[in-house]
Amino acid sequence: MLVQKKLNKTEENEKKTWETSIINAFYANKDSMLLEFTATVDLKNKDIENKYRDKIIFNYPLKNFRESLYTKEFQNISTDTNLWDRTLIALVLSEYRKYLFTDLKLNIKPVLMLKSSKIIDSQNFYKE
């Protein structure tokens, strides 16, 4: 049973392809063992929680993973401004960091990721 929040057609096909590939590989050999890791599973979603309830060996959320220093430190910055203003703030911060790194003679390039929950939201944003 494939479980996830409502997906658009493209995401639906990608998800089916990925999960179907894993399931097919798993059942290809009777001695197969499948271990999965994710630090971002949404156990508040009842469908996902029900699917994985009897499969979870250890629940180790991203917050704990970061606190244990298993990943690079990153910052999430929140603001209650509109999407366009948030994007401008992110761009200005990214450029500021780039100049700080340059002054310190460090070859580090800040990364900026803009993510929407739906492709149509991204397309509408680009039109603005």
pTM: 0.45
CA separation, residue 93 to residues 50, 58, 75, 79, 108 (Å): 41, 37, 12, 13, 14
What pLDDT digit, counting tens, does each position of 90-118 carry?
A: 899 999 989 999 999 998 888 887 877 77
Task: Specify the DSSP element, H or E, that contains 102.
Answer: helix 83-103
Domain limits for position 92: 83-127
Q: Looking at the structure, do residues 13 and 62 belong to the same domain, yes or no?
A: yes
In a domain, 78, yes or no: no
Say if residue 87 is in the same domain as residue 112: yes
Any idea which of 6-10, 11-15, 59-63, 110-114 has the lowest mean pLDDT?
11-15
Taking only the tens place, the pLDDT of each residue in 23-78 is 888 899 999 888 877 767 788 889 888 988 888 888 888 788 888 888 777 777 77
In a domain? residue 77? no
The answer to whether residue 3 sits within a structural domain is no
Q: Are 103 and 119 in contact (CB under 8 A)?
A: no
Closest Cα to residue 76, out of 126, 38, 113, 39? 113
